[in-house]
Amino acid sequence: MEKNKKISPFVKGLRDGLPIGAGYFAVAFGLGIAAQQTGMTPLQGFIMSFFNHASAGEYAGIAAIRSGAAYLETAMLILIANARYLLMSTALSQKLSPNLSLFHRLLIGFSITDELFGIGIAYPGFLDPFYMYGTFLTTTPLWASGTAIGITAGNILPDIVVRSLSAAIYGMFIAVIIPPCRTNRNITIVVLVSFALSWLMSVIPAFASISEGFRIIILTLIISSLAAFFMPLPEEEVTTA
């Protein structure tokens, strides 16, 4: 225990971020394979992942690029896919010292991911900004490097291997949605409705003519709004979240 007390928040952040970063690297490699199929270079993939720390948002951007979406459409799609971080930032702000400068607050907001939010919200007392910087400096380079290496591998490996590896990204999303679906009936309903409406919009002529990116934006807004209205979280869950 005495040894742990001597560890600075920054070093502790580096240490705590390492296992998270290792997981990020594996996921980002799959994103890199998908990005390679859009014609991205490793440098472009690295920059993209360095500034976009969400697999869902990044994949949405890759899908928009692949479909030839306009810049505004791509930006809107990524904004909606990453909107949950606005809520996470608001919640995490309650862990910050009232005297913390705006500069530190902005840097912490930039570094937030689902997992870093989790360990940040569990930090005892006020959240030390240098703890978050440590986690960021461990996880973000691994995330960005994973994307760049995935693109490089996609350029080197045989086409049949690249097509096989590209399926890994779908496996990642399945791994994300299956566990909560098994324990929460409302999430299961939302997922099934999303699948059904996504398919319907792709075959109904009036909607099929709309670009894939805008179809995702429309579905996201409609389904999330209906879910929030008809299946709100119980008050005790909101209080403890």
- How do residues 149-182 score in pLDDT, each as one tens digit? 999 988 887 766 666 665 665 665 676 677 778 8
Q: Are residues 128 and 40 in the same domain?
A: yes
Tell me how many helices (H) and strands (E) the chain has: 15, 0
144-178 burial code (b ≥16 CB/10 A, e <16): bbbbbbbbebbeeeeeeebeebbebbeebeeeeee
For residue 152, the one-letter residue type is T
The size of the chain, in residues, is 241
Q: Do residues 52 and 81 make contact, with C-beta atoms less than 8 angstroms apart?
A: no
Residue 116 and residue 231 share a domain:
no
Indicate whether 210 and 164 sit together in one domain: no
Are residues 48 and 13 both part of a single domain?
Answer: yes
Give 74-90 pLDDT, tens digit per residue. Answer: 888 888 878 778 878 88
- Residue 198 inside a domain? The answer is yes
Those residues whose C-beta lies under 8 Å from the C-beta of residue 51, and which sit 6 or more positions away, are none
Q: Is residue 207 part of a domain?
A: yes
Share of the chain above pLDDT 70, in %: 85
Residues in contact with 113: Cβ distance below 8 Å, sequence separation at least 6, in sequence order: 53, 54, 139
Q: Do residues 149 and 234 share a domain?
A: no
Q: Is residue 227 part of a domain?
A: yes
The pTM of this model reads: 0.69
What's the number of domains the chain is made of? Answer: 2
The answer to the question of residue 113 being in a domain is yes
Range of the domain at 234: 184-241
DSSP 103-139: HHHHHHHHH--HHHHHHHHTSSSSPPHHHHHHHHHHH
Do 28 and 113 lie in one domain? The reply is: yes
pLDDT of residue 41: 94
Confidence of residue 2 (pLDDT cuts 50, 70, 90): very low
pLDDT in tens, 109-149: 998 888 888 888 888 889 999 999 999 999 999 999 999 99
Residue 178 lies inside a defined structural domain of this protein: no
Q: Report the chain's C-alpha Rg in angstroms.
A: 20
| Residue 125 belongs to some domain of the structure | yes
- Any domain includes 175: no
pLDDT tens track for 31-76 = 898 888 888 999 999 999 999 888 878 888 888 888 888 888 888 8
**Average pLDDT over the chain, rounded to whole?**
82
Pair 55, 162 in one domain:
yes
59 falls within a domain: yes
Q: Specify whether the CB–CB gap between 62 and 35 falls below 8 A.
A: yes
Q: Is the dihedral of CA 171, 14, 81, 149 positive or negative?
A: negative
- Do 133 and 216 have their domain in common? no
